[in-house]
Amino acid sequence: MTSTERTENWRRARQYTPEQMERAKIVLEEVRAGIRLDRALRSHPMPDGKLIAKHILVAAYNELVAEGEWPDDPAFLSRIRMKPVRTLSGVTTVTVLTKEAPCPGRCIFCPSEAQMPKSYLADEPGAARAFQNHFDPFDQVTSRINEYAAVGHPNDKIELLILGGSWCAYPRAYQEWFVRRCFHAMNAESLLAASQPEDVLEPDPRERKAIELAELHKAHKINETANHRNVGLVIETRPDQITRDELVWLRRLGVTKVQIGAQSLDDRVLALNQRGHATADTLRATALLRAAGFKIVLHWMPNLLGATPESDRVDFVRLWSQDYAPDEIKIYPTQLLESAELYQYWKRGEYKPYTTGQLIDLIADIKPLIPPYCRVNRIIRDIPSFHVVEGNKRTSLRQDVQREMQKRGTACRCIRCREVRGQLVDAEQLTFDDHVYFPAQSEEHFLSYNTAADQLAGYLRLSFPRDGAPDLQIPELDGAGIIREVHVYGQSLPVGSERAGAAQHRGLGTRLLDEAARITREKGLRRLAVIAAVGTRAYYARRGFAQHELYMVKEF
């Protein structure tokens, strides 16, 4: 079955009966009149007793607007949209998985499952979508964009998250093909020939052809003005895979953020778990990534073999006291799964998982220690609980920790806990802050605009190399301050649209860029570089940046 056929099948499955649409419009009228959505849904069930699904409400709303019966009202749409939190951070995340492939690691905690990339299970949500789409990147991106549209989410600003094993261990020809297929999917409405046969077939690893990036760069160029613009491209890999040449290659692909599995900052624990790298590799990788302007996400795993709650508390502090200073972290408590080698240690009595209570206490203790420039993306993986042999089986661990912290009267000031999300902001009442910190070989400025209640409306990461910083030999970065990220929060809004009080459209990004330029000039530097995602190039071009080979640069 071709990509087009699979997409058409999905669309046919989303067809609605006249009775469903009529019932949905009745519900919408009541919500418009001020009745709560849940009450309106319960008042008008279908004959079989089922409630109208939210994606049908969105379809009915779109039909009313298209026929001119209702005005387009984004505020109303946000009330009926499904899972609005998915786009409250300002972008729409689309997750895709690579195919099964050998991994250079031999970690004892990592599960293995046939036909899945290392460490992933077929019934994890993102992995299940990938499996259903035969791991074809075009199909994965297309189906996810369609799903977002069906439930009323804007999808013109896409952060593409590529997961599955260690990205850098895949052949470069496969990497280029995979990324190109993703861009073709985002460009599909602008590029009618996006699914040509030569794009469908992945490279034969036995063929040693030179990798041709011309077609990928064409796809990049189209995406600069496409309906689904890529505003971030994320890959995951191991610390010992990060080199200067690898980072140059990632920039050619369009990558802007790298997730690396630190897992622990204790060499003894890393060795016991057969991780295959040392803490020095992680520190070197973060310094290289920062020097090249990438956003840095570290994975940290409590409850590894050889760790205790007390040693994990000490280990977590090392993230901030020993110069790692990640921009984002994912806290992934070790989960005991039968397909992992760790299971055999447990059977021999050599390993014991933490209880849910121990995990809640541990994370509630360490979360207030996180500095305001870091974002906690996750606190547990989406592994279905029936896979977990012993230990915590709750996937709502983040909410459990929040309740525990409320009881204690403590708070976390990480980015996720402070972002304004869908709240309206008065741009004139925001205060500017320049938080300076010094990770390995770098001076970092976390520039932000905040509300009176300490909520974060927008921020910019500005980096200056210090003595001993890696020499990447990239001309665009010589004598430059480096903008590693610009992010303005609030419900993701379509490109060019505005909503009164929405943080995304109050000029905060431009103000942050102006502050970054001011600080860079004061340091006597002659240029400002930005690691621009492909779909943000036009934004930076309008603000004086010019596209060079790997970065966009503004000369002073």
- According to DSSP, residue 317 is labeled H
391 φ/ψ sector (left φ>0, alpha ψ -120 to 50, else beta): left
Structure tokens at 481: 């301050």
In a domain, 85, yes or no: no
Higher pLDDT, 297 or 73: 297
State whether 56 and 102 are in the same domain.
no
17 φ/ψ sector (left φ>0, alpha ψ -120 to 50, else beta): beta
Query: Is 270 within 8 Å of 311 (Cβ atoms)?
Result: no
State whether 201 and 253 are in the same domain.
no
| Structural domain ending residue among the three candidates 206, 237, 268 | 237
In a domain, 323, yes or no: yes
Nearest-angstrom CA–CA distance, 340 and 427: 51
Helix (H, G, I), strand (E, B) or coil at 96: strand
CA dihedral 24, 26, 32, 33 (to 10 degrees): -160
pLDDT band with cut points at 50, 70 and 90 for residue 107: very high
Distances (CA, A) of 521 to 477, 479, 527, 529: 15, 11, 8, 13
CATH number for the domain spanning 449: value is 3.40.630.30
Question: Which of 46-60, 217-231, 317-331 has the lowest average pLDDT?
Answer: 46-60
Distances (CA, A) of 327 to 106, 398, 415, 461: 27, 19, 10, 9
pLDDT tens sequence across 264-284: 999 999 999 999 999 999 999
pLDDT band with cut points at 50, 70 and 90 for residue 55: confident
| Structural domain ending residue among the three candidates 51, 80, 109 | 80
Question: What does the H/E/C string look like for 478-532?
Answer: CCEEEEEEEEECCCCCCCCCCCCCCHHHCCHHHHHHHHHHHHHHHCCCCEEEECC
Q: Once rounded to an integer, what is the mean pLDDT over residues 102-121?
A: 90
State whether 112 and 133 are in the same domain.
yes
pLDDT band with cut points at 50, 70 and 90 for residue 401: very high
Structure tokens at 381: 């993986």
State whether 152 and 257 are in the same domain.
no
Higher pLDDT, 510 or 57: 510
The dihedral built from the CA positions of residue 110, 113, 114 and 120, taken in this order, carries a sign that is negative
Query: Is 354 within 8 Å of 302 (Cβ atoms)?
Result: yes
In a domain, 86, yes or no: no
Nearest-angstrom CA–CA distance, 436 and 444: 6
Helix (H, G, I), strand (E, B) or coil at 467: coil
Question: Which of 30-39, 445-454, 542-551 has the lowest average pLDDT?
Answer: 30-39
State whether 164 and 46 are in the same domain.
no
Give the pLDDT confidence score for residue 202 in this predicted structure. 82
Give the pLDDT confidence score for residue 203 in this predicted structure. 79
| pLDDT higher than 80, residue 247 | yes
Give the pLDDT confidence score for residue 86 in this predicted structure. 45
| pLDDT higher than 70, residue 84 | no
User: Which phi and psi (to 5°) does residue 413 adopt?
Assistant: -110, 25
| Environment class of 263 (CB within 10 Å of its CB; exposed 0-12, middle 13-18, buried 19+) | buried
Give the pLDDT confidence score for residue 3 in this predicted structure. 42
In a domain, 87, yes or no: no
Give the pLDDT confidence score for residue 499 in this predicted structure. 47
Q: Once rounded to an integer, what is the mean pLDDT over residues 437-448?
A: 96
In a domain, 297, yes or no: yes
In a domain, 112, yes or no: yes
Nearest-angstrom CA–CA distance, 56 and 50: 13
pTM score, two decimals? 0.84
| pLDDT higher than 50, residue 194 | no
Higher pLDDT, 225 or 43: 225
| pLDDT higher than 80, residue 89 | no
| Structural domain ending residue among the three candidates 374, 399, 418 | 418
Q: Once rounded to an integer, what is the mean pLDDT over residues 362-389?
A: 95
| pLDDT higher than 70, residue 121 | yes
34 φ/ψ sector (left φ>0, alpha ψ -120 to 50, else beta): left
Portion of the chain with pLDDT greater than 90, in percent: 67
Nearest-angstrom CA–CA distance, 81 and 83: 7
Alpha helix stretches (DSSP H) within 90-171: 125-132, 137-150
State whether 75 and 128 are in the same domain.
no
Give the pLDDT confidence score for residue 193 in this predicted structure. 46
Give the pLDDT confidence score for residue 494 in this predicted structure. 46
CATH number for the domain spanning 319: value is 3.30.750.200
In a domain, 242, yes or no: no
Q: Once rounded to an integer, what is the mean pLDDT over residues 162-178?
A: 94
Beta-carbon-side half-sphere exposure of residue 454 (alpha carbons within 13 Å): 9
State whether 412 and 454 are in the same domain.
no
Q: Once rounded to an integer, what is the mean pLDDT over residues 125-143?
A: 92
Nearest-angstrom CA–CA distance, 219 and 180: 7
State whether 128 and 183 are in the same domain.
yes
pLDDT tens sequence across 443-501: 999 999 999 999 999 999 999 999 999 999 999 999 999 999 999 986 444 444 444 44
In a domain, 184, yes or no: yes
Q: How many CB atoms lie within 10 A of CB 369?
A: 15
Give the pLDDT confidence score for residue 506 in this predicted structure. 58
Query: Is 450 within 8 Å of 406 (Cβ atoms)?
Result: no
Give the pLDDT confidence score for residue 205 in this predicted structure. 63
User: Which phi and psi (to 5°) does residue 123 adopt?
Assistant: -105, 15
| pLDDT higher than 50, residue 197 | no
Q: Which residues constitute the domain of residue 12?
A: 3-80
State whether 126 and 210 are in the same domain.
yes
| pLDDT higher than 90, residue 320 | yes
Give the pLDDT confidence score for residue 82 in this predicted structure. 55
Question: Which of 20-34, 297-311, 512-526 has the lowest average pLDDT?
Answer: 20-34
One-character DSSP codes across 426-450 = -GGG-EEEEEEE--TTEEEEEEEEE
Distances (CA, A) of 83 to 144, 151, 205, 232, 421: 14, 8, 41, 21, 13
Give the pLDDT confidence score for residue 18 in this predicted structure. 81
State whether 407 and 259 are in the same domain.
yes
pLDDT band with cut points at 50, 70 and 90 for residue 14: low
Query: Is 129 within 8 Å of 146 (Cβ atoms)?
Result: no
State whether 24 and 112 are in the same domain.
no
Question: What does the H/E/C string look like for 21-54?
Answer: HHHHHHHHHHHHCCCCHHHHHHHCCCCCCCCCCH
Give the pLDDT confidence score for residue 81 in this predicted structure. 65
State whether 275 and 400 are in the same domain.
yes
Give the pLDDT confidence score for residue 68 in this predicted structure. 81
Query: How many independent structural domains does the chain possess?
Result: 4
First to last CA, the chain: 54
Q: What single letter denotes the amino acid at residue 401?
A: V
* Size of the chain, expressed as the number of residues it contains: 556
| pLDDT higher than 80, residue 516 | yes
